[in-house]
């Protein structure tokens, strides 16, 4: 499969004859460029030269930000379509062109309304870079943690649902499952309508694993969002690590604060997720949402979001719901079953805490063969009703 993608990519980039993908983009007129971009929208990513990227970014004059993988610059194509160019920190291994192109080929064919589009890439002797669509409203963290709030709570709820759909697509609908490894508000970008798109998926594959921006067992990620299994040697890391990080993101939406924690221990008494669990245990989630400054009209949704978050951060990866279930639970129209106590890992060491809770685990896992997820929620309405957000009035 990979070999097929590599040869296809090779064919796509090999001159001559010059295929559509390697035309000198900065020399073409507007309509040609429009057509090119339209085709690009259904096709594979374009290979750009370093010279082209330099032109598009006006010699890298506008820095948008920098993260663990490299620096991001603003630019535009000659027809004024705005782009973001991420210049990757390259590890010691400079001979991985084929692998890089194969991975970009896979990621570049991953299209979903809640994933940032990859227009193309550059790979040569000196640089590796990725060219993305430009997201007008930047990253979610800037809106979530800023003093001056432009967005309403409902907007954040929509953002959470859209993000969950994007991750569900990566995990459950792509031909090859993509694990993000770095879900956090900085990697959720907002377009001009504040619609969320997940960024940086597949990046963990493109960069050298040992060139990490967080060195926990050699994997990428950001402290505070890392699932507990990263702290254990030889514990298998699955796609459920993204579900944990997404749960932490949900806590941040409910609390409108960063859940930073000094380390893997539970010494920080003020850790918001733990506080949410304590309030939930006491049956006081509603009061907690009020204390978080959430308006009355939004509190039922916020309470639901907190419950979903408690499910997402279960110690055992198996006990965390798959993202498609998370979408359903966030959208409402299903009855969420009570989450068990999470965060045992803060107080005890060893792999036992990450095992599925005894009694409830079956060999087929938590999802039944017909795809229902009865462990996490129960259907209360017909699928059509839940799709349109119609709920049965309780008597
Ligand atoms: N496609 C884009 N459109 C607009 N701004 C972007 C885009 N991609 C990245 N940015 C901006 O650049 C900043 C840095 O992004 P970058 O991905 O390098 O770092 P990060 O997301 O904070 O960390 P990480 O390395 O874990 O992804 C982001 O916070 C965002 O504001
Ligand atoms: Mg990022």
Pocket test for ligand 1, best of 56, 64, 140 (most atoms within 8 A of CB): 64
Is ligand 1 within 6 A of the CB of residue 189?
yes
- In angstroms, what is the span from residue 393 Cα to ligand 2's centroid? 42
Predicted confidence (pLDDT) at residue 25 exceeds the cutoff of 70: no
Specify the range with the lowest mean pLDDT, choosing from 233-242, 273-282, 320-329.
Answer: 233-242
Q: Which domains does the chain carry?
A: 46-133 (3.30.200.20), 140-387 (1.10.510.10)
Specify the range with the lowest mean pLDDT, choosing from 39-53, 109-123, 190-204, 313-327.
Answer: 39-53
- In angstroms, what is the span from residue 144 Cα to ligand 1's centroid? 15
Q: Residue 73 burial by CB count (10 A; 0-12/13-18/19+): exposed, middle or buried?
A: buried
- Give 204's pLDDT tier (boundaries 50, 70, 90): confident
Instruction: Look at residue 105 in the predicted model and tell me its pLDDT.
Output: 83
pLDDT tens per residue across span 256-296: 877 655 444 444 557 899 999 999 999 999 999 999 999 99
- Give 36's pLDDT tier (boundaries 50, 70, 90): low
**Average predicted confidence (pLDDT) for the chain:** 81
Is ligand 1 within 6 A of the CB of residue 134?
yes
Instruction: Look at residue 367 in the predicted model and tell me its pLDDT.
Output: 57
pLDDT tens per residue across span 121-170: 999 888 999 999 999 999 999 999 888 878 999 999 999 999 999 999 99
Closest CA to 373 of 168, 114, 236: 168
180 neighbors 323 (Cβ within 8 angstroms): no
Token output for 184 = 């956090």
- In angstroms, what is the span from residue 180 Cα to ligand 1's centroid? 14
- In angstroms, what is the span from residue 70 Cα to ligand 1's centroid? 9
Ligand 1: residue whose CA is nearest its atom 20 = 67
Specify the range with the lowest mean pLDDT, choosing from 158-162, 167-171, 218-222, 387-391.
Answer: 387-391
Is ligand 1 within 6 A of the CB of residue 131?
no
| List 29, 141, 182, 200, catalytic entry | 182
**pTM as predicted:** 0.82
Q: What one-character DSSP code corresponds to residue 77? A: -
Instruction: Look at residue 208 in the predicted model and tell me its pLDDT.
Output: 52
Is ligand 1 within 6 A of the CB of residue 264?
no
Ligand 1: nearest atom to the Cα of 133: 1
User: Mean pLDDT over residues 239-267, rounded?
Assistant: 79
Q: Which helix (H) or strand (E) holds 377?
A: strand 377-379
pLDDT tens per residue across span 290-317: 999 999 999 999 999 999 999 999 999 9
Is ligand 1 within 6 A of the CB of residue 40?
no
Instruction: Look at residue 263 in the predicted model and tell me its pLDDT.
Output: 43
Q: What is the phi-psi region of residue 101: left when phi exceeds 0, alpha when psi lies from -120 to 50, beta otherwise? A: alpha
- Is-catalytic flag, 182? yes
Say whether 86 counts as a known binding-site residue.
yes
């Amino acid at each position: 499969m990979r070999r097929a993608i590599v040869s296809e990519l090779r064919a796509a980039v090999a001159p001559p004859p010059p295929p559509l993908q390697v035309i000198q983009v900065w020399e073409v007129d507007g309509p040609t460029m429009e057509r090119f971009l339209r085709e690009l929208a259904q096709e594979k990513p374009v290979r750009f030269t370093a010279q082209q990227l330099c032109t598009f970014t006006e010699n890298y004059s506008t820095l948008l930000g920098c993260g663990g993988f490299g620096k991001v610059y603003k630019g535009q194509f000659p027809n004024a379509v705005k782009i973001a160019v991420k210049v990757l920190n390259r590890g010691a291994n400079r001979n991985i062109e084929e692998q890089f192109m194969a991975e970009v080929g896979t990621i570049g064919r991953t299209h979903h309304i809640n994933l940032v589009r990859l227009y193309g890439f550059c790979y040569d002797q000196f640089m590796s870079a990725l060219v993305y669509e430009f997201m007008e409203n930047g990253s979610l963290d800037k809106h979530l943690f800023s003093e001056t709030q432009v967005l309403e709570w409902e907007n954040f709820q929509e953002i959470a649902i859209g993000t969950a759909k994007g991750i569900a697509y990566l995990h459950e609908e792509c031909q090859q499952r993509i694990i993000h490894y770095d879900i956090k508000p900085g990697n959720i970008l907002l377009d001009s309508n504040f619609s969320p798109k997940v960024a940086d998926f597949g990046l963990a594959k493109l960069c050298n694993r040992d060139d990490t921006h967080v060195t926990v067992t050699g994997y990428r990620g950001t402290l505070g969002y890392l699932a507990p299994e990263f702290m254990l040697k030889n514990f298998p890391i699955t796609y459920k690590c993204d579900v944990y990080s997404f749960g932490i993101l949900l806590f941040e939406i409910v609390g409108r604060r960063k859940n930073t924690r000094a380390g893997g221990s539970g010494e920080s008494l003020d850790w918001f997720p733990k506080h949410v669990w304590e309030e939930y245990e006491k049956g006081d989630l509603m009061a907690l949402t009020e204390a978080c400054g959430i308006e009355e009209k939004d509190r039922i949704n916020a309470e639901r979001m907190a419950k979903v978050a408690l499910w997402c951060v279960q110690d055992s990866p198996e006990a965390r719901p798959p993202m498609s279930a998370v979408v359903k639970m966030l959208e409402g129209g299903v009855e969420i079953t009570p989450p068990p106590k999470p965060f045992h890992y803060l107080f005890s060491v060893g792999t036992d805490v990450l095992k599925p809770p005894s009694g409830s685990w079956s060999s087929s896992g938590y999802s039944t063969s017909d795809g229902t997820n009865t462990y996490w929620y129960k259907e209360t309405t017909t699928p059509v009703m839940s799709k349109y957000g119609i709920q049965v009035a309780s008597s």
